[in-house]
Amino acid sequence: MEIGSDNHKQINILVNLNIHVILVPQGVEYQAVCRGVSCITAPKPLVVPIPIGVEPLTKYLETWQHAGGLLNYPQPQVLLMGLCGSLSPNYAVGDMVIYQNCVYKSNTSQPELRSCDRELTTKLHHTLKERATLVQGLTSDRLIWSADEKRQLGQIYNADVVDMEGFAALKVLNQAGVAVAMLRVVSDGCDRDLPNLTSAFSSTGTLQPLPLAIGMIRQPLAATRLIQGSLKGLKVLQKVIEFLYN
């Protein structure tokens, strides 16, 4: 996905839509979005680093709201950004996607479906045009690292991409009357395995350095693909912020 050089001609969509807050998974994704925000001259939104995973994010957002995280905004609107994995050959590393709906897959409950705010989603897509594709996302309560499982899940849930936060954000924020749009960048394709980094995620939604390093060392080829795909996706995350604001 290329962010064109005609960004000076574009509507400042985040300002015009009154996007007050950008939620981004903590770590390198948050850092990439912050780099993009630092390059803009328009009024800047609040960028909030969030934990990884459904349960940690649910607890975090509930606490954040109770503490008055959105009290300054009478009609708060939130953009969730980050990386995602492809579940379909139609979406490759570096492609940008805008969620219409998000399905939640857990091992203990039936699948649930929630929709992003229609108005925000439509206007965001209209601004980005061919640079982004409308998709249905799948939120998993664990890392989906196997290429075979990615393709299977895509078919079972009619989903295009997978993440670990989207549904939780929609569920908690929608219940509080907050409009949410979701914009993500594909960082790994559906045709190759990732390292199995399941043990690297803590119960609080952080990546633990030692288990992460061990998992990467055990599968060096998969780790190399993960790093390369993530770097490409992070560059797009940074550039799309600059594009939308400048």
pTM, two decimals, is 0.91
Provide the residue type at 144 as one letter.
I
The pLDDT value given to residue 242:
81
> Which CATH number does 7-245 carry?
3.40.50.1580
The pLDDT value given to residue 11:
40
What are the sequence ranges of the domains in the chain?
A: 7-245
The pLDDT value given to residue 9:
41
- Between CA 82 and CA 28 the distance in angstroms is 10
- Report the b/e string of 178-191 with b at 16+ CB within 10 A: bbbbbbbbbbbbbe
The pLDDT value given to residue 65:
85
Q: What is each CA distance from 57 to 48, 114, 149, 203, in whole angstroms?
A: 12, 16, 24, 11
The pLDDT value given to residue 74:
76
Q: What is the mean pLDDT of each run of 10 residues along the chain (246 residues)?
A: 47 58 96 92 87 96 87 83 98 98 84 94 90 97 95 96 97 93 97 94 94 95 96 96 78
Which pairs count as long-range contacts for 114-122, CB under 8 Å and 24+ apart, including other chains? 114/167, 114/170, 114/171, 114/174, 115/170, 116/170, 116/180, 116/181, 116/182, 117/77, 117/179, 117/180, 117/181, 119/179, 120/17, 120/19, 120/77, 120/79, 120/179, 120/180, 120/181, 121/181
